[in-house]
Amino acid sequence: MKKRAWKILATSLLAVSTAVVLGACGSGSKKSSSGSNDNLPDSPYKVSKETPAWKSDDRKNNTLTWYVNADWWNKEYGKDYITKTIKKDLNLNIKFITGDDTKLNTYFASGDMPDIVTIGDPNSKVARTAKQWAYPLQDLATKYDPYFYKVARKDTLNWYKLDGKSYGYPNYSNTAADYKSGNILPRDAFIIRKDVLDAIGDQDFTTPEGFIKGMQAIKTKFPKLTPFGFNDFSGGNSSLENVVQDMLGVPITTKANKYYDRDLDSDYLTWLNAFREVHSDGNISDDSFTDDSDAFNEKVSNGQYATIMMGSDVNHGTNLQDFASKNPNSKYVAINGIQSTKGNEPTLSQAGISGWLISYISNKTKNPAKAIQLFEYLLSDKGQMLVSFGEKGKMYTQASNGQVTWTKFANNVQLNEPTKWQKDYRIGEFILFGHDRYKALNKSSYVEAVWQMQDWGKKYLKPQFKIENIAPDPSTQESRALSAVQTNWSTTMVSLIRSKDKAEFDANVAKYKKFQKDNNISGINKIRNEKIQENIKKLNE
Judgement on whether residues 211 and 296 belong to the same structural domain of the protein: yes
pLDDT in tens, 210-256: 999 999 999 999 999 999 999 998 877 899 999 999 999 999 999 99
Looking at 314, 330, 347, the residue that finishes a domain is 347
Residue 465 lies in a domain: no
pLDDT in tens, 91-101: 999 999 999 99
Higher-pLDDT residue of 496, 414: 496
Please give the average per-residue pLDDT across 372-387, as a whole number: 98
Lowest-pLDDT choice from 32-41, 131-140, 272-281, 327-336: 32-41
How far is residue 241 CA from its own chain's centroid?
17
pLDDT at 433: 97
Contacts of 96 (CB under 8 A, 6+ apart): 66, 67, 68, 73, 74, 75, 76, 77
| Strand stretches in 349-402, DSSP E | 358-361, 396-398
The kind and range of the H/E element at 404 are strand 404-406
Residue 138 lies in a domain: yes
Judgement on whether residues 476 and 435 belong to the same structural domain of the protein: no
Contacts of 417 (CB under 8 A, 6+ apart): none
DSSP, residue by residue, 286-347: GGGGT--HHHHHHHHHTT-EEEEEES-TTTTHHHHHHHHHH-GGG-EEE---S--SS-PPP-
Q: Is the pLDDT of residue 306 over 60?
A: yes
Distance CA(399)–CA(212), nearest Å, equals: 47
Q: Is the pLDDT of residue 288 over 70?
A: yes
Q: Which of 412, 343, 353, 299 is nearest to 540 (CA)?
A: 353
Looking at 327, 347, 367, the residue that finishes a domain is 347
- Going by pLDDT thresholds of 50, 70 and 90, the confidence category of residue 6 is very low
Percent of the chain residues past pLDDT 70, beyond the cut: 93
The one-character DSSP state at 474 is T
Q: Is the pLDDT of residue 5 over 60?
A: no
**Averaged pLDDT of the chain:** 91
pLDDT at 237: 81
CATH at residue 52:
3.40.190.10
Cβ contact 336:206 at 8 Å: yes
Residue 167 lies in a domain: yes
Judgement on whether residues 272 and 299 belong to the same structural domain of the protein: yes
Judgement on whether residues 248 and 374 belong to the same structural domain of the protein: no
Judgement on whether residues 251 and 143 belong to the same structural domain of the protein: no
Q: Is the pLDDT of residue 272 over 90?
A: yes
* Radius of gyration in angstroms for the set of CA atoms belonging to the chain, rounded to a whole number: 25
Judgement on whether residues 362 and 432 belong to the same structural domain of the protein: yes
pLDDT at 474: 87
Higher-pLDDT residue of 11, 414: 414
Segments forming the whole domain that contains residue 243: 189-347
pLDDT at 65: 98
Beta bridge partner(s), residue 228:
307
> Which pTM value belongs to this model?
0.89
Q: Which of 179, 185, 497, 196 is nearest to 335 (CA)?
A: 196
Residue 459 lies in a domain: no
Judgement on whether residues 14 and 159 belong to the same structural domain of the protein: yes
Distance CA(130)–CA(33), nearest Å, equals: 11
Rounded-to-10 torsion of CA 260, 262, 264, 266: 100
pLDDT in tens, 455-495: 999 999 999 999 999 999 988 999 999 999 999 999 999 99
Residue 461 lies in a domain: no
Residue 457 lies in a domain: no
pLDDT at 7: 35
- Going by pLDDT thresholds of 50, 70 and 90, the confidence category of residue 183 is confident
pLDDT at 38: 61
Judgement on whether residues 291 and 337 belong to the same structural domain of the protein: yes
Q: Is the pLDDT of residue 291 over 60?
A: yes
Residue 462 lies in a domain: no
Cβ contact 155:270 at 8 Å: no
Q: How many domains does the chain have?
A: 3
Judgement on whether residues 342 and 419 belong to the same structural domain of the protein: no
Judgement on whether residues 124 and 5 belong to the same structural domain of the protein: yes
pLDDT in tens, 9-38: 333 332 333 333 333 333 333 343 444 556
The residue count of the chain comes to 541
Looking at 290, 315, 347, the residue that finishes a domain is 347
pLDDT at 351: 87
Judgement on whether residues 58 and 106 belong to the same structural domain of the protein: yes
Residue 463 lies in a domain: no
pLDDT in tens, 129-156: 999 999 999 999 999 999 999 999 999 9
23 phi, psi to nearest 5 deg = -110, -165
pLDDT at 39: 82
Distance CA(279)–CA(273), nearest Å, equals: 10
pLDDT at 415: 85
The one-character DSSP state at 367 is -
pLDDT at 445: 86
pLDDT at 30: 36
Distance CA(322)–CA(328), nearest Å, equals: 10
Q: Is the pLDDT of residue 59 over 70?
A: yes
Judgement on whether residues 89 and 151 belong to the same structural domain of the protein: yes
The kind and range of the H/E element at 245 are helix 242-247
